[in-house]
Structure 1
Amino acid sequence: MPTIQCLDPHIADLIAAGEVVERPASVAKELLENALDAGASAISVEVQHGGLTYLRITDNGCGIAPGQLPTAFLRHATSKLRRAEDLAAIGTLGFRGEALAAIAAVSRVDIFSRERGADRGASLHLEGGVPGEVTETGCPEGTTICVRDLFFNTPARMKFMKKDSAEGTAVTGVVTHLALSHPEVSVKLIRDGVEVLHTPGDGQLRSAVYAALGRDFALGLLPVSGCGGDISVEGFVTKPLNGGGTRARQLFFVNGRFVRSQLLTAALEEAYRNRLLKGKFPGCVLHITLPKSTVDVNVHPAKTVVKFQNERAVFDAVHYTVKDLLTAGETPAPKPVQQTFYRSMTVQEYKERQTPPPAEKRPLGSYGSAPAVHPDAKLPLRDSVSPPAPAAPEPREEPRPAPMPAAPATFPAAEKPVPAKAPVPEAPIPETPVPRRNTIDLPLQQTLTDHPAPWRLVGEALDTYIICQDESENLWLIDKHAAHERLRFNALKQRREPPMSQLLLQPLAVDLEADAYDAALASLPLLEEFGFSCEDFGAGTLLVREVPSDIRPEDAAATLEELAEDLRLGRADPDAARDSLLQTMACKSAIKAGMHTSPAELRALVDRVQSGEIQYCPHGRPVAVKLTRYEIEKMFKRA
């Protein structure tokens, strides 16, 4: 049986170093956190060859007493913890007491430190963890640590290091995170003799973002601030149009510590739902502050993973703070007066809804102005429009036919012909309204002399883009498909009545991929809720018997394929799956680019866009582009 014995201290140090020091960036992180905990207001970092051969960090913090320099490099030696209770509310960044010992074990270290107010400082050299003599030396107040030849005594680790450029980039990332986590500290990074980062340290997060992440990113940010209970959220988020291709610019800081959290990422992206292009991700620099006792930072050796005591409260604080900002400029959609398109009505109900008040009733055929509408009143918009009833033909004198035999007593007698100058009878009223497909929703009631709008419809280009001019002499190009798609999406999302379905003359067999097929089978009730009556036909095929009335039968197969794919991707989140289904249905039922649209329908769309109700399509694309008069005149060299 093998003998159990204690490890040699040097081997133990190497093992600890393997957990703490993965690469030069790990060294930079530990030393930078110590500098912040020492109260530094200015930190300088200098790196050569990615930090493998040379890494120097200088701060103007409180410094270390000469007699404590050797103690600082012992394992489990720290000035930040005294009692076991301190572990439950950690407010410092570095606290393990192993960082300096681990770094010294695998490198050559020189440290120079001078306490504030002291006449002289002290220095110490360590090689492979073995300290030399402490000597007096002249140095500025604060601490400077030089780390050379990292992993010189552990060549097995060296072969896993990447190129100098990659290691240097990792160090830059660590310095950037520190600069953003503490904008009150001036941080400077010199990489291979070139200054690549310098923050002013003025306490303004925007200044730190501008210096660390660049001008273009900083200009695409929106300030955000909010709180929920004892949790506060402050910082910046990207505009919906400035989404990135990765999540690299999602930077979260909890109590001043950079963290990676799926919870915070989900809260942020949920707030951007239906506002970003597919494949784009929001960016942010968010500071979340909460009581220290409600967050556990001692989960991962690198301290970049944390656990929250109340995850739901943290999620809601981030989610609603960002969502409130994004929806602040959007006008809520007006509540529809009626939504009868998706359900049947009796003839009496239809008459009551369609017949104007008796005082305003006019014979059909009289041509005059409709009841006046207050200029400030917004006309309610219907979810869909029923076609007007055909006008009755003008009566005229006809030769009277020969008398006919009297009708049987069981049938009502025929009415007499209408005199030529008698009022024209009202047209027959259909029992159910007939839906129109691919049309833009119009107001329920319009006057023949509408009040002036704060914009003017100029026309339409390429049967796709609406052109209008607002009262500030700005020219707007509006994508009518994107705008109508958002309009349809909002209407579908607000709808409470079940949709009206149309029975297909012949059932439609739709072949699906295996995963999408399984997802669709598991969600047949949800599909039925949206108007699709489907059943399993076996071998990856669904048999469709009914589709929503606002989906053309020829589009049914493609629509169901997209819905099944949406279900496959979002089956774990019912709300996300529902929104994906509504997006697909809105896209399929919206008017298409290239289709002819009447001026009245164009005006209805422009009114929704100019009011601020519609800004983005459900997939995040902008619906309108504004050109100022100056921009246009500049194109023609007038400005």
Structure 2
Amino acid sequence: MPNQIQVLDPHVADLIAAGEVVERPASVVKELVENAVDAGAHTLTVEIQRGGMAMIRVTDDGGGIPTDQCQTAFLRHATSKLRTAQDLAAIGTLGFRGEALAAIAAVSRVELFTRTAQCDLGTSLTLEGGQVLSQEPAGCPLGTTLVVRDLFYNTPARLKFMKRDAAEGAAVFALVQKLALSHPGVSFQFIRDGKRELMTPGDGKLSSALYAVLGRDMALGFTPVRGEGEDVTVTGFVSLPACCRGSRTYQHFFVNGRPVKSKLLMAALERAYENQKMVGKFPGCVLQLQVKASQVDVNVHPAKTEVKFLHERQVFDGVYYGVLSALQGETRHPTVTFAPPQPSPQAGSGGEQRPPLQPAQGKPVLRDAAGALLRPLERAYTPASPLQGESVPGFSPKSAGKSTDFCGNVDKPVENVEKPRPAAVPRPDTPHRTPSVPQQAPAPQLKLKVPPAPLGGAEGAPVPPPSLEEEAPWRLAGEILQTYLIVEQGDAVHLIDKHAAHERMQFDRMKAAGYQPMAQALLAPVVFTPAPEEGEVLLNHLPLLAQFGFACEAFGGGALVVREIPDYLEPGQVEPALSEIAGQLLTGGGADPQAARDAVLHTMACKAAVKGGQRNTREELLVVVREVMAGRVKYCPHGRPVAITMTRSQLERQFKRSS
């Protein structure tokens, strides 16, 4: 190893600095858009080709760059946003380091077109590998257009680590969406490979940006937040508890207009949802925090995505109480109304008179408390008049008696609406008797949707069902909280998580048998808009999803349409299931076919397994216990233990009985 110390060549130093600033095309877009916003842009267009690897063009109508400062802007540590060390104590701009343009130019070919309001003629500047090739006058509109081509063309070591163009493009799209939410006063336009995928109005209203970025369905599931604390103001929107998702993809935090990642803000948000959301679901949010610039440090991360707060407790309380008050003040509940009946011709064929349609045949429509129209009950049961006895077109027994929540999921029974019963008609040969009021049927027990598959030997031969429980060396003592099974064996007591154990059983069965579920076609296809990264990874694995019963395809505007689903899923479970699958593929090695299949199997096994809180028969529980006690099931597919054991001595020590 050489021990001579020397100063690096400037070009090598620039490449190293570029590696710290420019990680992927999305990093380039972030730096250029932040510069445009700092320059006072009101409209901003981001255009990419081949995921940003071939070309990135960012156009704004900001203040522009004076002609004599164009080359200076591409020097390292050149900036217009800082002057003295005291300025670091109160940074009010998105960019401030002065390294972005120099780092980008060092690893690409750059073209700059810019004009200020004081000049009638603009400037064109061309650079390659950080070196200026030409500068000349040019006609161009007010503002700046910066074109970056052939990213990492001179650094093949970085180029080989780039993902596919679709994945890089999805990362850029997600970033532009986040930036559009952080600055609702700027009109953002995103164009990928010649197709416009995003357009925000730029009217300064966060609700408008939220609607344009996340779509109508997501926007209807959000409620506004407004909170003020000591030197902290929290505004924005949070999702209703019923509209929480299976991942944290839709959590967006902004501090003084800067998109940030903060465990503190995440913890405050999710604390406000305690005992209000389903276990395993995460709230979505678009929260903007205004904090004094002197009380937040934005210079703690090279990409400026992390911040530190001087008074963390004040920030935590501001978010927590702001979100909590918004949730407690939310009084909307889904309501079902019936549209007026359609007029029907009174004269049928041959001039015969036909009775008018009954009002009950109006189509159910869902509205919130404010009267806003929600997704219609497309598959709801509309009973015909008992006197007519006609069948209702479009009736689906599977969806009868279900309602739609704020997120448009049809999966909840309508408990306060009684279905009309046909009038009792006495038989002619029997005296008329007043019909007795039918007794309410007992609630049926929920059965395992997919039969448990006990695993036998190495060949996977099924184990015969248990005959007598007394023959086993253990005893199922009972179940607590409808989730945990208590099993006694000698001087030990085992607590078994029935969901985790059955999930592992399903996963092993599916993996060993080459799982091929039965697909069921949907009468009304499910359309939803996932996060850009999730949508891209799902589209890249359509053949794999088809193997598991999902028939999906792109629907335009970043949306997906699902026409077939596995037989054990309900339509309301499609979106969370696919979102969870996408998360597994993104973090579980989607490039490896076997790893991708296992990632999907994890989600399928979880959805098919018996759930905590679900009532099961003793025979069903015994099947799970037999597998755990035989040692064939130890951990769930996610690595969590399925059982814990306490000995007699441990219990006696807890009760102070041991000597």
TM-score range (shorter-chain normalised) is 0.5 to 0.7
The verdict on how the C-alpha distance between 1:467 and 1:66 changes in structure 2, with shifts beyond 3 A counting, is closer
The verdict on how the C-alpha distance between 1:329 and 1:69 changes in structure 2, with shifts beyond 3 A counting, is closer
Q: How does 1:157-236 map to 2 (within 5 A)?
A: 157-236=158-237
> Equivalent residue of 1:305, what SS?
coil
Q: How does 1:568-583 map to 2 (within 5 A)?
A: none
The verdict on how the C-alpha distance between 1:104 and 1:542 changes in structure 2, with shifts beyond 3 A counting, is same
Q: What CA distance in whole angstroms lies between the structure 2 residues aligned with 1:244 and 1:319?
A: 19
Say whether 1:265 aligns with 2:296: no
- Return the letter of the residue paired with 1:142: G
Q: What CA distance in whole angstroms lies between the structure 1 residues aligned with 2:165 and 2:298?
A: 31
Kindly tell me the number of residue pairs found equivalent between the two proteins: 376
Contact 1:63 1:115 in 2 (8 A): yes
1:619 corresponds in structure 2 to: none
Q: What CA distance in whole angstroms lies between the structure 2 residues aligned with 1:89 and 1:274?
A: 39
- Return the letter of the residue paired with 1:221: F
| Uncovered stretches (5+) of structure 2, i.e. residues with no partner | 333-400, 403-411, 419-439, 444-473, 501-612, 618-659
Contact 1:227 1:321 in 2 (8 A): yes
> Equivalent residue of 1:124, what SS?
strand
> Can you list the C-alpha shifts for 1:541-575, whole angstroms capped at 9, x where unaligned?
459xxxxxxxxxxxxx779999xxxxxxxxxxxxx
1:297 corresponds in structure 2 to: 298
Q: What CA distance in whole angstroms lies between the structure 2 residues aligned with 1:307 and 1:84?
A: 19
Higher mean alpha-carbon deviation, 24-33 vs 297-306, is at: 297-306
> Can you list the C-alpha shifts for 1:307-331, whole angstroms capped at 9, x where unaligned?
1111111111111111111122579
- Return the letter of the residue paired with 2:232: I
Say whether 1:102 aligns with 2:95: no
- Return the letter of the residue paired with 2:268: A
Q: What CA distance in whole angstroms lies between the structure 1 residues aligned with 2:614 and 2:171?
A: 49
Q: What CA distance in whole angstroms lies between the structure 2 residues aligned with 1:46 and 1:35?
A: 14
The verdict on how the C-alpha distance between 1:50 and 1:291 changes in structure 2, with shifts beyond 3 A counting, is same
The verdict on how the C-alpha distance between 1:255 and 1:591 changes in structure 2, with shifts beyond 3 A counting, is closer
The verdict on how the C-alpha distance between 1:229 and 1:162 changes in structure 2, with shifts beyond 3 A counting, is same
Q: What CA distance in whole angstroms lies between the structure 2 residues aligned with 1:266 and 1:140?
A: 46
- Return the letter of the residue paired with 1:89: A
Contact 1:66 1:134 in 2 (8 A): no
Contact 2:127 2:134 in 1 (8 A): no
Q: What CA distance in whole angstroms lies between the structure 2 residues aligned with 1:479 and 1:98?
A: 72
- Return the letter of the residue paired with 1:204: K
The verdict on how the C-alpha distance between 1:510 and 1:593 changes in structure 2, with shifts beyond 3 A counting, is closer
> Can you list the C-alpha shifts for 1:445-474, whole angstroms capped at 9, x where unaligned?
xxxxxxxxxxxxxxx99xx9895469xxxx
The verdict on how the C-alpha distance between 1:479 and 1:134 changes in structure 2, with shifts beyond 3 A counting, is farther
- Return the letter of the residue paired with 1:119: D
> Equivalent residue of 1:111, what SS?
strand
1:307 corresponds in structure 2 to: 308
User: What's the CA shift for 1:134?
Assistant: 2.1
- Return the letter of the residue paired with 1:192: D
Q: TM-score of the superposition, structure 2-length normalised? A: 0.53
Say whether 1:122 aligns with 2:123: yes
User: What's the CA shift for 1:178?
Assistant: 1.1
> Can you list the C-alpha shifts for 1:250-279, whole angstroms capped at 9, x where unaligned?
000010000111111111111111111222
- Return the letter of the residue paired with 2:44: I
> Equivalent residue of 1:265, what SS?
helix
Q: How does 1:596-615 map to 2 (within 5 A)?
A: none
> Can you list the C-alpha shifts for 1:13-57, whole angstroms capped at 9, x where unaligned?
000000000000000000000000000001011100001110000
The verdict on how the C-alpha distance between 1:135 and 1:540 changes in structure 2, with shifts beyond 3 A counting, is farther
Contact 1:511 1:541 in 2 (8 A): no
The verdict on how the C-alpha distance between 1:541 and 1:118 changes in structure 2, with shifts beyond 3 A counting, is farther
User: What's the CA shift for 1:118?
Assistant: 1.4
User: What's the CA shift for 1:510?
Assistant: 9.6
> Can you list the C-alpha shifts for 1:503-525, whole angstroms capped at 9, x where unaligned?
xxxxxx9999xxxxxxxxxxxxx
User: What's the CA shift for 1:187?
Assistant: 0.6
- Return the letter of the residue paired with 2:156: P
- Return the letter of the residue paired with 2:35: N
The verdict on how the C-alpha distance between 1:99 and 1:542 changes in structure 2, with shifts beyond 3 A counting, is same
- Return the letter of the residue paired with 2:78: A
- Return the letter of the residue paired with 1:100: L
> Can you list the C-alpha shifts for 1:287-346, whole angstroms capped at 9, x where unaligned?
011101111111111111111111111111111111111122579xxxxxxxxxxxxxxx
1:366 corresponds in structure 2 to: none
- Return the letter of the residue paired with 2:144: T
User: What's the CA shift for 1:3?
Assistant: 1.1
Say whether 1:20 aligns with 2:21: yes
Q: What CA distance in whole angstroms lies between the structure 1 residues aligned with 2:179 and 2:213?
A: 10
> Equivalent residue of 1:133, what SS?
strand
> Equivalent residue of 1:5, what SS?
coil
Q: TM-score of the superposition, structure 1-length normalised? A: 0.54
The verdict on how the C-alpha distance between 1:3 and 1:559 changes in structure 2, with shifts beyond 3 A counting, is closer
1:316 corresponds in structure 2 to: 317
- Return the letter of the residue paired with 1:271: A
- Return the letter of the residue paired with 2:163: K
> Equivalent residue of 1:85, what SS?
helix
> Equivalent residue of 2:189, what SS?
strand
| Uncovered stretches (5+) of structure 1, i.e. residues with no partner | 332-459, 471-477, 482-508, 513-526, 528-533, 544-556, 563-589, 595-639
Contact 1:511 1:540 in 2 (8 A): no
Q: What CA distance in whole angstroms lies between the structure 2 residues aligned with 1:72 and 1:85?
A: 22
Q: What CA distance in whole angstroms lies between the structure 2 residues aligned with 1:139 and 1:220?
A: 43
Contact 1:465 1:480 in 2 (8 A): no
2:74 corresponds in structure 1 to: 73
Contact 1:510 1:541 in 2 (8 A): no
Q: What CA distance in whole angstroms lies between the structure 2 residues aligned with 1:266 and 1:480?
A: 41
Say whether 1:46 aligns with 2:47: yes
> Can you list the C-alpha shifts for 1:417-444, whole angstroms capped at 9, x where unaligned?
xxxxxxxxxxxxxxxxxxxxxxxxxxxx
Q: How does 1:534-613 map to 2 (within 5 A)?
A: 541-542=492-493
The verdict on how the C-alpha distance between 1:542 and 1:108 changes in structure 2, with shifts beyond 3 A counting, is same
Q: What CA distance in whole angstroms lies between the structure 1 residues aligned with 2:69 and 2:135?
A: 10
Q: How does 1:434-473 map to 2 (within 5 A)?
A: 467-468=415-416
Between 1 and 2, higher relative CO (CA 8 Å, sep ≥ 6) is seen in 1
Contact 2:223 2:330 in 1 (8 A): no
Contact 2:475 2:489 in 1 (8 A): no
Q: How does 1:404-423 map to 2 (within 5 A)?
A: none
> Equivalent residue of 2:71, what SS?
helix
Contact 1:466 1:479 in 2 (8 A): no
Contact 1:510 1:542 in 2 (8 A): no
Larger of the two Rg values belongs to structure? 1
Q: What CA distance in whole angstroms lies between the structure 2 residues aligned with 1:120 and 1:539?
A: 91
The verdict on how the C-alpha distance between 1:274 and 1:153 changes in structure 2, with shifts beyond 3 A counting, is same
Q: How does 1:269-284 map to 2 (within 5 A)?
A: 269-284=270-285
